[in-house]
C-alpha cells in the first residue's frame, strides 16, 4: 500500500496594511477626513472694517477727470495724426498709438478709481478709502481735527463737485474727500467740525 502524502496547503502571503484613505468609507459621514483651514472673510480684511457703511462720492467726479484727460491727450493725438498724414512720416504713428493707448487706459481706469473712493462716519473717527491696486485707508479721529475746509476750483464747479480737506496735528492722518456735491460737502464740513469741537471739549 502506497502512502499518499498530501502536500501542505500554501500559507497565504502577508497582505499589506490598508492605506488610511481606504478606510474613509468606514467612517461616519460627519467625521473629518482631512485638515481644515479657516479662511478669512471679507469683513476681516484691513480695508473693509466690519459694520461700516461706505458713502460713495459723486459720479460726476469721473466725468470731470475723463474730460480733463481728453483735454490733455486729445490735442496731442490730433497733432500727431495731422503731422503723420501731412508729412507721410510713418514713425509718427507710433507716438500717436501710444497716446491713444494712454487715453483708452485712462478711460477704463478712471471710473474704477472713482468707484473705489468713499468715506464712512463712525462714532469716534472718520474713515476715508481710495485706490484699486494700491489701496489706502485713512482713519481720522475727530479729536485730532484742527480744521476742515471745502474747496472747488472753476473746473470742479463746472461739474458741480467740491472737495473736503481734513487737517490734523499729524500729516499722516490728514485726508481729503474729492467729488462731493456742494451741499454734501458743506454738511460734512459742519458735522466734522462740530464733532471735533465736542471731542476737544471733552478732553
Q: Which three cell numbers stand for residue 45?
A: 480684511
Grid coordinates representing 120?
Answer: 464712512
Q: Looking at the domain 118-202, which fold is it?
A: PH-domain like (2.30.29)
Write out pLDDT tens, residues 88-107: 999 999 999 999 999 999 99
Q: What is the pLDDT of residue 10?
A: 52
- Residue 133 pLDDT greater than 90, yes or no: no
pLDDT tens-digit readout, 152-175? 999 999 999 999 999 887 776 678
Q: Does the pLDDT at position 7 exceed 70?
A: no
Q: How many CB atoms lie within 10 A of CB 196?
A: 22
State the pTM of this model: 0.72
Question: What's the Cα-to-Cα distance from 107 to each of 13, 55, 62, rounded to whole Å?
Answer: 74, 23, 9
Domain boundaries, the chain: 57-114, 118-202
Residue 29 banded pLDDT, cuts 50, 70, 90: very low
Amino acid at each position: 500500500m502506497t502512502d499518499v502524502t498530501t502536500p501542505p496547503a500554501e500559507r497565504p502571503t502577508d497582505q499589506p496594511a490598508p492605506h488610511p484613505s481606504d478606510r474613509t468609507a468606514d467612517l461616519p459621514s460627519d467625521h473629518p477626513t482631512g485638515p481644515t483651514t479657516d479662511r478669512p472673510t471679507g469683513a476681516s480684511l484691513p480695508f473693509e472694517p466690519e459694520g461700516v457703511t461706505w458713502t460713495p462720492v459723486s459720479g460726476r467726479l469721473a466725468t470731470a477727470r475723463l474730460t480733463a484727460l481728453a483735454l490733455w491727450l486729445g490735442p496731442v493725438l490730433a497733432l500727431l495724426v495731422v503731422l503723420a498724414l501731412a508729412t507721410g512720416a510713418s514713425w509718427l504713428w507710433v507716438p500717436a498709438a501710444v497716446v491713444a493707448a494712454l487715453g483708452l487706459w485712462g478711460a477704463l481706469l478712471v471710473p474704477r478709481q472713482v468707484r473705489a473712493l468713499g468715506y464712512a462716519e463712525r462714532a469716534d473717527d472718520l474713515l476715508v478709502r481710495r485706490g484699486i491696486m494700491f489701496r489706502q485707508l485713512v482713519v481720522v479721529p475727530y479729536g485730532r481735527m484742527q480744521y476742515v475746509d471745502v474747496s472747488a476750483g472753476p473746473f470742479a464747479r463746472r461739474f458741480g463737485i467740491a472737495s473736503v480737506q481734513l487737517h490734523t496735528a499729524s500729516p499722516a492722518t490728514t485726508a481729503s474727500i474729492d467729488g462731493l456735491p456742494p451741499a454734501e460737502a458743506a454738511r460734512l464740513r459742519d458735522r466734522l467740525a462740530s464733532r471735533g469741537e465736542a471731542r476737544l471739549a471733552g478732553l
